[in-house]
Chains A and B, each alone.
Chain A
Amino acid sequence: MLSADQCRALRCLAELMIPASAEYGVPSAGDETIFNDILHSLGRDAEQVIAVLRSLDAMANGRFADLDRQRQEAIAARLRENGDEALAAVSRIVLQCYYRDDRVMRSLGLEPRPPFPKGFELEQGDWSLLDPVRARPRLYREVG
């Protein structure tokens, strides 16, 4: 769906958005597995993504992906300042793919699995917290 140049630009943008972190042991959003997921997840937002990539090239006066990192960061910062719906769509796609990656989920202490069928534990809580509310008079209005 995207041209090779557009793919390169999107990958640069994803890496700028979420770089790798040695501290947390996580890859960048431009990691091959995650980026392939991104490319397969454009779906109904593909046009918005392409619009953002065209904006990046226009702001770069050429190919955004060919710029050095410092200039890419400056253009991406400008893009974010002017943030619109199209950029929000790009962010959404990058984030939805990044935060379902097994390595990223494990780094957050999450099991890489869907919620169903195992579900999750939730503590019941202390219902004695309700005691002061139980002591209150009726709040609702009686209607004759």
Chain B
Amino acid sequence: MTDPVDVLIIGAGASGAAVAWSLAETRMRILCLEQGDWMNPSEYPSTARDWEARQLNDFHISPNRRARATDYPVNDANSPIKIANFNGVGGGTVLYAGHFPRFHPSDFRVRTLDGVADDWPIDYPTLEPYYAENDRMMGVSGLAGDPAYPPHEPMMPPLPLGKSGTVLARGLNKLGWHWWPSDSAIASVDYEGRAKCINLGHCTSGCAQGAKASTDITYWPAAIRARVELKTRCRVRAITTNAQGMAAGAVYYDRDGVEHFQPAEIVILACNAVGTARLLLNSASAQFPDGLANSSGLVGKNLMFHPYARIIGYFDEELDGYRGPGNCIWSQEFYETDRARGFVRGYTFEFSRGQGPVMAAVHGMQIGRLPWGAEHHRAYRKLFCHRTGMVAICEDLPEERNTVTLDPELKDAHGIPAPKIDYTLSENSRRMLDHAVARGTEILRAAGAYDVWSVAPIPEGGWHLMGTARMGTDPARSVVNEWGRSHDVKNLFIVDGSIFVTAAGVNPTRTIQALALYVADNIKRRLATLFD
């Protein structure tokens, strides 16, 4: 057994880093266990000639394809949307695009406003100061004044519009539709010791420049300076409990496969909505036969993705191609509910720039725009640096049939049961995707595209994992309370996307981190009565 700690955090990604940093000022002994490694930016793909190929291999978004020793397998065969994640210090922020929208006030009141799903037990004003705190830590580029949002002030100027953004903006203006430079967790100017973006164009394989705010270079250095301890290559098998039904600590395997027990006064889960549900279910015991913190039966249920549509167009004029971060502009013209559209809730268009030479060829061939044989070269030159477009990120509604369970056969390298995903796209999401494809096509045509291609949902697009340990005030209808503490186990907290009640129609990382800071603040303010 190792020395007891006051706080044990499991997972060093977006939320684990934020909660660790925030709690550090308490001077409690804090330890974070992370199953992955520290990343070395000098070894990121963009530093070498095989930069695009590695995105298809050891930097792939699918853990099943990537299959690093630090990954665990996921059975997602029964889902039209496959799981994307990354295991390492920084977690998913190592591979994310840094697209960094906030939720809207209406996103916390879905039942009240639209009669579906549930309201959150907290609201936008509650989270607003934590959004602001997180923005300072991560660094946000953008432009104040977006009419789609309550006022907030990004601290850095927006990322360049570029050729692609200009063409798309003109198309949107022709239609009279909303657009705005995206809030991005990418430094457009030097920020807090991080160098500004130099348009490597490869944000989603780790940023060698350090301009993109992954938590290994934002929160973690500050947390470690404040004496938080972080141990890598430690894979937790289960949370154990004592006779009083409180979390006692965690059983984990170190890099050599040696089993350890880490005792702790407080346990905080930050493993994402698949990893956290898996860990709670793997922590079943005689005392908690259905899994830990699962008296509601909702652990692993209500899994939400953001079903994505991709709509791209080919243009005669040269566009940005491989140059520049993918983040560019967004449109929330179709964000708030309008029942005349045939669905409730809405989506965000996130516009991108283009592709590198390899990905342009691979995708061009996949979608039948790039022939074999003598015509290959002419066709390639028509599409390379002549393509731009968007994704639509659609709000998914929580449904109990969409689940994370334990696979009866599949196990990771340590013999720990792997997660199994069962997910069905709802009719509401299907209609929203169809609407997005139609409107996206209009935008591209208005912008001058001579050819448009689309796919919906994007099969590999399970980037955003939410809802499998939802928060709420009713222990029968939620897993954690309104400040992140398990209803059943009073010293167990969850801070990742599991606790989302609804998904909104935007990328979740900024809200995940704001929630983690909010939960940390509640722990700090309630220390004397934390377990009451």
Contact = CB atoms under 8 A, between A and B. Distances in A.
Given A16-B372, A133-B178, A143-B113, A138 B201 contact: no
Contact of A139 (B47, B148, B322, B365): B148
A64 interface: no
Interface in B463-517: none
Chain B interface: which size bin?
35 or more
A123 B160 CA distance: 6
Interface string A18-62: 110101101000000000000001011000000000000000000
Given A17-B372, A123-B163, A129 B170 contact: yes
Interface string A106-144: 001010111111111111111101101110111111110
B160 A16 contact: no
A74 interface: no
Nearest to A136: B147
A43 B22 CA distance: 43
B interface majority secondary structure? loop
Contacts of B173: 129, 132-133
Contacts of B324: 120, 122
Contact of A138 (B147, B161, B362): B147
B73 to A, nearest CB: 14
Contact of B165 (A26, A115, A125): A125
A8 interface: no
Interface in B194-218: 198-202, 208-209
Q: Which of B49, B51, B67, B105 has the most CB of A within 10 A?
A: B49
Given A41-B53, A100-B50, A140-B105, A108 B113 contact: no
A72 B99 CA distance: 47
A121 B199 contact: yes
A52 B160 CA distance: 44
Given A114-B46, A122-B323, A129 B53 contact: no
Interface of B: 44, 46-53, 56-57, 67, 104-106, 108-109, 112-113, 123-124, 143, 145, 147-150, 158, 160-163, 165-166, 169-170, 173, 176, 178-181, 198-202, 208-209, 320, 322-324, 332-333, 335-336, 357-358, 360-362, 365-366, 372-374, 376-377, 381, 384
